[in-house]
Amino acid sequence: MPYQLTGKNVYDMRAQCEHVPLCYDFSHVDAFFNDADIQKQLGLPAGSSWAECNFIVNKMFTVDFMKNFHEVIPEMLEDGLDVLVYAGDVDYICNWLGNKAWTLKLDWSGKEGFNAAEDKAMTVGGGGRLRSHKNFHFMQVYQAGHMVPMDQPEAAIDMLSSFLDGKLGERGESMPQTPSLDISHEELLKQEEAEKEAGPVELQSEELKENLFKKLKGDPSQNDKCHKAHKDQGSCKGDSNNDCVWCACAAVPSSCWTRENAKALPPGVFSCDFAEKNDENIIA
């Protein structure tokens, strides 16, 4: 998506994506789980390999992408199960505005009460805002990205412990309404209509490519042999050395890349065909 080509972290809008494709440096986690002694203690077969994100598994789940599963939540609520939806307020890819909007719109017997409920202040750790009605809860965690426990561990364990104890709905303190930080479902709909009327935002392709190439090894037109040699998908897939892959993209022109460069492309922006070598770094 164009946002990723700006170089920003989709999981934390305060940061740059410094380690493509997951943005974070998980090398210490890799070293821990790939340690032979650790794997032995975990009962894993000798020679097992750990990866924090296996893109082959990711690719297999693409059939479930962009599907609504919220229809099953009302049934769970009516059966008396506690449901918690939470989001860090600087997460882009699963932002709190969108999550709160669908919780307010969800059709269930407690919808009216949930929409009328007061947002209460949570003060543990970095704090947050909690809305609860009966067994349905939504929490916005302040100063946290996609990985809430990593950014706000104290707030995260307090939220989880209270939820598991069945006492989350009793938590929180009254807080003044702050329009600059809050937004109603109606206001969200107005914003969506305004964006539709304004039409699509025109993207500067050259600027997007410039930001992308900062993540790679410069402009592939200068140093990527596959980009130089193959200008269409058929030619790219027919490369005699089987070292070239075709990467489709809607934000910038689709093109042919060496496998090394293709692995560094942002996931979700490019869809690269690694099928010939069953490469584990499929960009989903």
> Which distant-in-sequence residues (6+ apart) come within 8 Å of 99 by Cβ?
85, 86, 87, 138
- Of residues 214 and 54, more confidence is placed in 54
Mean pLDDT of the chain: 81
Q: What is the rounded distance in angstroms from the CA atom of residue 14 to the CA atom of residue 17?
A: 10
pLDDT confidence band for 212 (50 / 70 / 90): low
Range(s) of the chain covered by CATH 3.40.50.12670 = 72-197
Q: What is the mean pLDDT of residues 66-79?
A: 89
Q: What is the mean pLDDT of residues 155-161?
A: 95
> Which distant-in-sequence residues (6+ apart) come within 8 Å of 273 by Cβ?
237, 245, 246, 247
User: Does residue 85 contact residue 103 with C-beta atoms inside 8 Å?
Assistant: yes
Each residue's pLDDT tens digit, 10-40: 999 999 988 877 888 888 999 999 999 999 9
pLDDT confidence band for 280 (50 / 70 / 90): very low
Q: Report how far Cα 68 is from the mean position of its chain's Cα atoms.
A: 16
- Say whether 48 sits in a helix, a strand or coil: coil
Q: What is the mean pLDDT of residues 254-274?
A: 77
| Lowest-pLDDT range of 66-70, 138-142, 217-221 | 217-221
User: Does residue 140 contact residue 100 with C-beta atoms inside 8 Å?
Assistant: yes
Q: What is the rounded distance in angstroms from the CA atom of residue 59 to the CA atom of residue 65?
A: 10
Asked if CATH classification 1.20.1530.20 holds for the domain at 72-197, the reply, yes or no, is: no
- Of residues 185 and 109, more confidence is placed in 109
Q: What is the pTM of this model?
A: 0.62
Determine the pLDDT at residue 7. Answer: 85
Each residue's pLDDT tens digit, 45-64: 988 988 887 777 877 887 77
- Say whether 222 sits in a helix, a strand or coil: helix
Burial track 53-73 (b if 16+ CB lie within 10 A, e otherwise):
eebeeebeeeeeeeeeeeeeb
Largest CA distance in the chain: 68
Determine the pLDDT at residue 129. Answer: 94
Determine the pLDDT at residue 191. Answer: 64
- Of residues 201 and 3, more confidence is placed in 3
Q: What percent of the chain stands above pLDDT 70?
A: 76
Residue matched to tokens 């329009």: 179
243 pLDDT more than 90: no
If DSSP states are collapsed to H, E and C, what string results for 169-206? HHCCEECCCCCCCCCCHHHHHHHHHHHHHHCCCCCCHH
User: Does residue 233 contact residue 246 with C-beta atoms inside 8 Å?
Assistant: yes
DSSP code of residue 129? E
- Of residues 212 and 159, more confidence is placed in 159
Other beta carbons less than 10 A from residue 136's beta carbon:
25
Tell me the Cα Rg of the chain. 23
